[in-house]
Amino acid sequence: MIDAVTFDAQGLIPAIIQDAKTRQVLTLCYMNREALERTFAEGKIYVYRRSQGRLMLKGETSGHIQLVKAVYLDCEGNSLLFEVEQRVAACHAGYFTCYYRKRGADGTLQVVGQQVFAPQSVYKSAGE
């Protein structure tokens, strides 16, 4: 499958991560070839952290890993969709999904998810 993937000029491909049970979109991340190879080899989501310039196991700090259940490649080969079994939560802010906020009818941002863990109990500093 990796040969069918079209990486961008930076060697990355966007990957949508979706919970296999709830069908909620958990996050959007980027993968390079190494992240994709490790994900396929181990069955756990690896991402390329653009802000840190490094490969990372999703959940390596929190233990909230994502186990791969299915992988889809879009029609142009330039994005991926992973169905995963999410352990605890996907979001470093403590929510099951990173998409826990919604634009309200009045244009304001409203929290629509419930926090499932306290980030300060897991991470040394906010935003890890």
12: domain CATH number is: 3.10.20.810
pLDDT at residue 124 in the model: 75
pTM of the full structure: 0.91
By residue range, what is the domain housing residue 8?
2-121
Is 127 part of a structural domain of the chain?
A: no
108, HSE (Cβ side, Cα atoms, 13 Å) = 4
Residue 80 has pLDDT above 70, yes or no: yes
Domain count, the chain: 1
- Displacement of CA 115 from its chain's centroid (Å): 17
Alpha-helical regions (H) of 7-105: 33-42
Is 117 part of a structural domain of the chain?
A: yes
- Displacement of CA 22 from its chain's centroid (Å): 15
Residue 77 has pLDDT above 50, yes or no: yes
DSSP code for 40: H
Kindly give the pairing relationship between strand 80-86 and strand 13-19.
Answer: parallel
